[in-house]
Amino acid sequence: MSLFISFEGPDGSGKTTQILLLRAALEERGLHVLATREPGGTRIGNAVRTLVLSPEYAEMSQRTEALLYVAARAQIVYEVILPALAEGAVVLCDRYGDSTLAYQGYGHALPLDDLRAMNAFATGGLQPDMTLYLDINVAAGLSRIPASEHDRLEANTLAFHEAVRAGYHVLAQADPVRWLILDGAQPIATLHTQILARVLQALAAHA
């Protein structure tokens, strides 16, 4: 039974922790689960991740940044996600196309229509069945990440991160069937319980 779930949220929202917990819970129920991330998840994607997130490349233009993210997405879709879905896996992806709209579109003010067209080309139109958005106050989220460990995007201004968060809300409100907004400031166990319940509900509906 295949299901494609993306996790989105501001930096420090706890996506990675919740993906690990959800994967373990689903595997305990005998499901085939693939957990991956963007950018990354492939040899090419990991190389792009190093390039696009390294503070060493401060001169990177916003358009170059967007193109690199989309290139890594194209690779993971065709090398990892589509084959896993064909095998009936539940795919959990830490960020997907909506991140490009939120960060490069709403954060950097690049044209949203262009970014949507790039996403569609890169993914062949593949959209998640469900997007779990972990919402959290921007300053609170960033405070969870030591300043010495901030990557090139995390080091952006607070105003940039506020614009990204506002953009996420616009995206979620425009597609309430796919998106589920959750309070990322809740205790980890409470949030996991909520996520697992909704995912099990979605799996039952797909079955």
Nearest to 39 by CA among 86, 89, 74: 74
Alpha-carbon distance of 39 to 65, in angstroms, equals 11
DSSP code of 13? S
The 10s digit of each residue's pLDDT in 94-111 is 999 999 999 999 999 999
Residue linked to tokens 């890594």: 72
Alpha-carbon distance of 169 to 18, in angstroms, equals 20
The 10s digit of each residue's pLDDT in 29-61 is 999 999 999 999 999 999 999 999 998 998 999
Tokens of 32: 């085939």
Peptide bond into 176 cis (omega under 30): no
> Which residues in 87-115 are b (16+ Cβ under 10 Å) and which e?
eebbbbbbbbbbbbbbbbbbbbebebeeb
Banded pLDDT at 143 (limits 50, 70, 90): confident
Instruction: Report, as an integer, the average pLDDT of 130-142.
Output: 93
Instruction: Report, as an integer, the average pLDDT of 195-202.
Output: 97
Predicted confidence at residue 29, as pLDDT, reads 97
What are residue 180's DSSP bridge partners? 132
The 10s digit of each residue's pLDDT in 148-182 is 677 777 778 889 999 999 999 999 999 999 999 99
Predicted confidence at residue 148, as pLDDT, reads 62
Residue 128 clears pLDDT 90, i.e. is over it: yes
Can you name the CATH fold of 3-206?
Rossmann fold (3.40.50)
DSSP code of 95? S
What are the residue boundaries of the structural domains of the chain, listed by start? 3-206
Q: What is the pTM of this model?
A: 0.94
Nearest to 167 by CA among 95, 94, 116, 103: 103
